[in-house]
Structure 1
Amino acid sequence: MNIAPTQALTLEEFLKLPETKPSLEYINGEIIPKSIPKGRHSRLQGKLCSAVNEIAEKPKIAYAFPELRCSFGNRSIVPDVAVFQWRRIPLTINGEVPDNFELPPDWTIEILSPEQKPNKVIGNILYCLKFGSRLGWFLDPDDLSVLVFLPEQQPELFQGEDTLPILPEIELRLTVNQIFSWLKMGG
């Protein structure tokens, strides 16, 4: 469902609107609500953030943010997981994480929900890559696969025991099966 404003909004006007649940994204001049995360989506999102942050936060290598609004170019999107290299995290004058991130993540992760349109989600990953993201993952819990996007390369489908590409500075090894095993509580 798209929300058609009575008049076209600019990105700047959109960013002044109050945040909503579910989050709204601004894509090609349209305001599009994100799907409300359901069980599988929430579980995968939480475990992915935890896996990355367990390895990368303490040594200040990177940080994985869930549902973080990223506004750049002419879009404002909310990736399911946005991973930023530590040195790229914009900080306030007090050294705190700001509310607004006006840059693409280094690694964007999207988890397909049953009611989502895959091409819209993949479009956001491609947009991030166009503006400097170094890695994109598109997880499909129904067919237990991960479509991986790297800049200026063909997407590649990973399944089963395939080891997934991760940003080289993050010393984490994950297979597709490991990720989807998290859907079993205790996995």
Structure 2
Amino acid sequence: MTATYREVPLDEEMLDAALARAESLPVFEGSHRQLQANIVGSIGEVVFESFLSRNNIPFEDRRENTDLDYIVGNGITLDLKTKDRTVKPKIFYDNSVPLYNHEHQRPDFYYFISLLRDPSFGDEDIRRFKTAFLVGGIDIGTLDRDGKKWEAGETDPSNGTTFWTACINVSMEQLYSNTEMLKIFMEGKR
């Protein structure tokens, strides 16, 4: 696995589509960031769907369920995880999968997107998000085997992050690259 990412500038059309999508969603009980979580996730979805369309990868939207977000290519189940940051992602940065729904959420792959947020904008302004980075994906078996589990309240000494919920983390260098993921999507389940 190699880490490479694709940088996608976020334009008005993408942000408007993401905001409309986010505002139409319920705020789930226990959501740590409420509407802001929906906004971050919706931007990631708009970017990911555009990425698939540009690469002629068919997908089925399954976001109305809680067990996965998409069926991609020839039957690959996938859940998308989007994280916002104030700096561009680096190869040693972590990608997180919360454990609160990991028992019933068992897709074939997780795919990660990072959003670059301009901290000088207010927390409520969607235009604070300037760029998305498609950072890659990982199959669930590798995530479960090689990921680092953290409990809520624990602090990662390597970066000072204190986790608000239990999660499993993998670094970007552990991910399949976008090129590798496109090949997997085109070939279908193995």
Q: Do both share a fold (TM > 0.5)?
A: no
| Relative contact order, higher structure (CA 8 A, sep 6+) | 2
Higher strand share: 2
Higher helix share: 2
TM-score, length of structure 2 as denominator length: 0.39
